[in-house]
Structure 1
Amino acid sequence: MTASTLPTVPAGVKLICVGASAGGVEALGVLLGGLPAGCQVAVAVVLHIPPRHTSRLAEVFQPRCKLPVKEVEDKEPVLAGCVYVAAPAYHMLVEPDHSFSLSCDEPVNHSRPSIDLLFESAAAAYGKQVLGIILTGASADGAVGLAAIRELGGAAWVQDPNDARVPAMPAAALAQAGADHVLTVRNMAQALSRLPARPQSFQADPPRQ
């Protein structure tokens, strides 16, 4: 795929939601690395990991990402230019006032956090201003949520199953929800790299004495 044939993130998108499972650390490292410094979207990531009291995902991804990466906190607002990683053992939801909430409700598709719940809540809160992305994984989590995003006017990108370390999750998403684009993770990163970014502040040289 050449630069001229890469898809563009639809105009007006304010939130990108990404779901991944088995093989997801590597794929997310590539994907998040494509985000340009100063881009004016928020990114919410659910990666299935074993439940435990602490997670180092933000530390793992930060060196690969030009945007700040943090583990999400309950009730914090969704801010442009930040990557939010779901906390272990909590569902990450997007509220109608564009803040996050954390839930200890029962697992969905044997997972907590659930990709489906993030996508469904984001679709309800943001409508056509959300882009859902499904990456590698071994379950069907995310397929229902991606369908909800598309039904409410949002866009959907799915990793090509042939490019995924574990193809079950993207294959399930394609079977149930379809996609606007089916891409390798590197092509996704290249497409994200073209997101508009806030101009860097310019500081003039001090006047000569």
Structure 2
Amino acid sequence: MTAQHDSAERYDIVGVASSAGGIHGLGVLLGALGTAFPVPILIVQHLDPRHRTVIADVLGRRTSLPVKLAEDGEHAEPGVVYVAPPDRHLLVGPEGTLVLSPSEAVNFLRPAADLLFESVASVYGARGIVCVLTGTGSDGARGVDEVKSQGGTVIAQDPDTAEFRGMPASAVATGAVDFVLPLEEIATVIRGLVATEGQG
């Protein structure tokens, strides 16, 4: 990594998507990120909208980072994990303002990873990292393509090690993925990427 690339290597946000098998996957990832994580983490996990969700409580027991359901209009703070609530798309706007949208489902999904990732690409460009974990279907594939086209960094769980390979395999198939990794190695790579911030 050369000095002239440092400005492009400064990351300001991490977006993560998961579906089937995702609670375990998210728990492993978040639990390995440590305590003082320098950027916000936004999560889309497909949830049943008919039930009150306890995902923030469940994930909060697996990580030392604060975990909460995202609220419309709040500012994403470094080191905090924001989870999309059931039946609302989670997007990030200018200056890290979170947006919860009741707009129509994307491929029958709300929240949809594609919309989160596309908003990360639009607002953060090369300063965004997105990650696709276990899940069925192809949600996130369109979004990772957009993130990559804007210079961001894309990580996918190795489909061969994922509990459900559909989502990570669809992401890998786009050709936009920078790192294909076993679940247990993803946090180390993300920590290494965000640690480059400010170095030069």
Structure-2-length-normalised TM-score: 0.89
Q: Which runs of 4+ in 1 moved over 6 A?
A: none
Partner in structure 1 of residue 59 of structure 2: 61
Coordinate RMSD, CA, aligned: 1.6
Structure 1 gaps, min length 5: 1-9, 198-209
Structure 2 gaps, min length 5: 1-7, 196-200
1:35, 1:195 within 8 Å by CA — same for their partners in 2? no
Q: How does 1:92-107 map to 2 (within 5 A)?
A: 92-107=90-105
Report the residue type matching 1:156 in the other structure.
V
Note the C-alpha offset of 1:176: 1.9
Which residue, 37, 40, 49 being the options, matches 2:38?
40
Partner in structure 2 of residue 87 of structure 1: 85
Structure 1 vs Structure 2: percent identity of aligned residues? 41
2:135, 2:167 within 8 Å by CA — same for their partners in 1? yes
CA-to-aligned-CA distance 1:11-58 (integer Å, 9 cap, x gap): 411100000011111111101111121121110000001113631111
Partner in structure 2 of residue 112 of structure 1: 110
Deviates more, 1:30-39 or 1:68-77: 30-39
2:11, 2:194 within 8 Å by CA — same for their partners in 1? no
Q: 1:18 to 1:122 in 2, by over 3 A?
A: same
CA distance in 1, matches of 2:156, 2:98: 24
Report the residue type matching 1:80 in the other structure.
P
Partner in structure 1 of residue 144 of structure 2: 146
Structure-1-length-normalised TM-score: 0.85
Number of matched residues?
A: 188
Q: How does 1:1-209 map to 2 (within 5 A)?
A: 11-52=9-50, 54-194=52-192
3-state SS, counterpart of residue 64 of structure 1: coil
2:14, 2:39 within 8 Å by CA — same for their partners in 1? yes
CA-to-aligned-CA distance 1:114-172 (integer Å, 9 cap, x gap): 10000001110111111010011111100000111100010000110001011111111
CA distance in 2, matches of 1:139, 1:152: 24
